[in-house]
Chains A and B, each alone.
Chain A
Amino acid sequence: MGKAFDPSLIVDFIPTLIYYLGVTLQILAASVLLGMVIGIAAAILRLFRIPVLNQFVILYISFIRGTPILIQLFLVFYGLPAILLFINIDISRMDALYFVIITYALSNGAHFAEIFRGAIKAVDYGQTEAAYSVGMNNSQSFFRIVLPQAIRIAFPNIANSIIGSLKDTSLAFTIGVMDMMGRGETLIAATAHALEVYLSLAVIYYAVVLLFEKIFRLYENRINRHQTVDVSVTG
């Protein structure tokens, strides 16, 4: 086993672990994209107050915001096969990765729905009226005028949500997914150097989060480039 704590191992572990960063990013990308679709659909159902579905979306958002992601992960992992068995589809042998993606997509969807709804409501109604006055129809005024402005308002929150989601993916190993954490666990089992493994993981996560923050900030500056100074205090 050697020394109890060997700092040089931290550097040695990073290449092995970073190889699995792809899986983490794959979970993140798939769940964010699916979450966007769910989020936009849910936000539209809420904004136009479609009966029954509106109440269903409220319940869905409340549930996702009211339970830990870990519980959601277990519920999807054990619940989805049980539900699908009723219609004779057996997915109990499906790769755990897909359960993780489904869970995080549902979770992201609920958060995005609230963010989109808030952002669309935050756009001044005068904008829609102005769009009508120059002869645009409903969908033109929504897609050309309201939505671009709503995206600008929503972007910082979406970015936060994505970074939060990236950190949440570190829990996927609890249902046996081989992402960075999962590989870390096997490294610990093989080398018994738990502290060094977690330090390397922390370094990788931190670096990725910093990189994401940088990219998001650049993009945010870009979409805010037409704004006058008084709107964005921090800009």
Chain B
Amino acid sequence: MTIDILFIWTAFKEIIKALPITLILTILPLLAGFIIGLAVALIRIYKVKFLCRVANVYVSFFRGTPIIMHIMLIYFGFPLLIDQISKKFDLGIQSNSIPIILFVLTALSLSAGAYLSEIFRSGIISVSNGQMEAAYSVGMNSFQAMTRIVLPQAIAQSIPNFTNIFIGFLHTSSIAFIVSQKEMTGAANIVASTNLKFLESFIAAGLIYWGLTIIAEGLSFLIEKKATAYNRGGVQ
């Protein structure tokens, strides 16, 4: 077995066509997770009755089990649930008409929510209480103080963490190939098995993921510089 360098380029061109699906599988769950995560973080910080318990279990379970489990549980569980409900209420929805990607997106969104909620929580806790007091002293109410003073600082400080999560989920989206999604790893697998050139295809896929990660890190650095420009430290 020799390595066919030229085929890496052929595979590269074939695999990069699947980039949009990978990006969809990365960005949509993170957007949904952003909202879930923020809600869960606020519930846990303010210790809302009952909901706080649910939130704790949710975060602990989703962070304590592999993401492939979430995908598989939803991929096999939701169709059963949907069919039961649709039979009961005569809705006429059939689970096999729902595209698989929706199940994957749901699973990834729920995991993203759990991971992001921890980042929001640590970000919000890291903003000093004096900021809140200062906001009250100029007459803001709790909601205003939260949305105008605390959250912007918490989010700006959490940018490195958000980047880590983004890169983590970019890599996690590769798991979707196990439920036969044609994202980049799935595409690499197809290219590999049709041409029987496994190593070359996965080298090409690896290079694309690596490139995307480096771009994401660069962008995050620029955004962080802009977002934390207010914070110049004690002197100056």
Please state if A195 and B80 are interface contacts (CB–CB under 8 Å): yes
Contacts from A to B (Cβ < 8 Å): 4-5, 62-63, 65-72, 74-75, 78-79, 81-82, 85, 167-168, 170-171, 174, 181, 194-195, 198-199, 201-202, 205-206, 209-210, 213
Q: Which of B172, B198, B199, B203 contacts A68 (CB 8 A)?
A: B172
Please state if B65 and A68 are interface contacts (CB–CB under 8 Å): no
Please state if B209 and A66 are interface contacts (CB–CB under 8 Å): yes
Please state if A167 and B73 are interface contacts (CB–CB under 8 Å): no
Contacts from B to A (Cβ < 8 Å): 1-3, 60-61, 64-69, 72-73, 76-77, 80, 167, 170-172, 174-175, 177-178, 185, 188, 198-199, 202-203, 205-206, 209-214
Please state if B209 and A198 are interface contacts (CB–CB under 8 Å): no
Please state if B1 and A82 are interface contacts (CB–CB under 8 Å): yes
Listed residue (B2, B172, B205) with the most chain A CB atoms within 10 angstroms of its CB: B205
**Secondary structure type dominating chain A contacts:** helix
Q: Which of A70, A174, A205 contacts B69 (CB 8 A)?
A: A205
Q: Which residues of chain B are near A209, meaning CB under 8 Å?
A: 64-65
State the CA gap A169–B3 with chains docked (Å): 28
Q: Which of B2, B66, B214 contacts A167 (CB 8 A)?
A: B66
Residue in B closest to A201 when the chains form the complex, CB atoms: B69
**Secondary structure type dominating chain B contacts:** helix
Q: Which residues of chain B are near A168, meaning CB under 8 Å?
A: 66
Please state if A4 and B80 are interface contacts (CB–CB under 8 Å): yes
Assuming the contacts A62-B214, A67-B171, A198-B76, asked whether A170 and B209 have C-beta atoms less than 8 A apart, the reply is: no
CB distance from B57 to the nearest CB of A (A): 11
State the CA gap A5–B83 with chains docked (Å): 12
Q: Which residues of chain A are near B209, meaning CB under 8 Å?
A: 66-68, 71
Q: Which residues of chain A are near B69, meaning CB under 8 Å?
A: 170, 198, 201-202, 205
Q: Which of A65, A78, A195 contacts B202 (CB 8 A)?
A: A78
Assuming the contacts A85-B1, A171-B68, asked whether A75 and B199 have C-beta atoms less than 8 A apart, the reply is: yes
Please state if B73 and A199 are interface contacts (CB–CB under 8 Å): yes
Q: Which residues of chain A are near B172, meaning CB under 8 Å?
A: 68
Assuming the contacts A66-B209, A66-B214, A81-B1, asked whether A71 and B202 have C-beta atoms less than 8 A apart, the reply is: yes
State the CA gap A66–B68 with chains docked (Å): 20
Q: Which residues of chain B are near A65, meaning CB under 8 Å?
A: 167, 213
